[in-house]
Structure formats: C-alpha cells, structure tokens
Amino acid sequence: RKEVEQDPGPFNVPEGATVAFNCTYSNSASQSFFWYRQDCRKEPKLLMSVYSSGNEDGRFTAQLNRASQYISLLIRDSKLSDSATYLCVVRVRSNDYKLSFGAGTTVTVRA
C-alpha cells in the first residue's frame, strides 16, 4: 500500500465553485500533514499545514481525520489562479527528516 494516496482528478470546476478532495495515508503513526501546491514544472509550494482540529486559511480549509487516516482540502469560491496540482504531504514519524508526497490531485478552474 502506498504511504500517501490521492485521487489524481482532474477536478474541473467553474470559477466561484467549491471543490474538495481527500488524501489517505497508510501509517496510523503519521505525525505531520501538509498541503502543497505545484504548478506545471515548478517547485512544490506550501499551501498550509494541517492541524488536528482542522484549520482554515482564507478560502482554503484543511481537515484531518485520524480515525480514518485521511486529510482533506476544500477550496471555496475557486479562482482561475487556483488551477494547480495539490500535493498531500505527510511526515510519518516525528523524527523523520523526509516528507512523503502523494502523486497529486489536479484542479482546473474554468472561467
């Protein structure tokens, strides 16, 4: 089983719509969770960390469900600039140096 699994999409949504997608992780001991975004042929850029109680940053909301071992990202009021690949990233153990990446979920926002 892969460490981090994501629905690759693509999710094609109109401007102003809400889009949400999940990511599952295999190791129940995983400690830290992040969402990064990656534009085509660019570096991953941190979107937000995901906290146990869930957290919001503007139009973006992240949730963590430890019991079911998934995290989610919801984007409200989608903008054209939200078109990107969203990477689910997990640090499995607190003393791990590496981050484990999912393959990404592609979101395309159309005018």
Binding residues vs another protein (CB under 8 A)? 32, 34, 41-46, 49, 87, 91, 94-104
Q: Which CB atom, from 19 or from 44, has the smaller least distance to another protein?
A: 44
Query: What is the smallest separation between the CB atom of 18 and another protein, expressed in angstroms?
Result: 25
Q: Which residue has the tokens 């984007």?
A: 75
Nearest to 6 by CA among 32, 20, 31: 20
d(CA 38, CA 46): 9
Give me the least distance between CB of 99 and another protein, in Å please.
Answer: 6
Q: Which is nearer to another protein, 18 or 51 (CB)?
A: 51
Count CB-CB contacts under 10 A for residue 9.
15
Is 81 or 95 the residue whose CB approaches another protein more closely? Answer: 95
Other C-beta atoms closer than 10 Å to the C-beta of 79 total 11
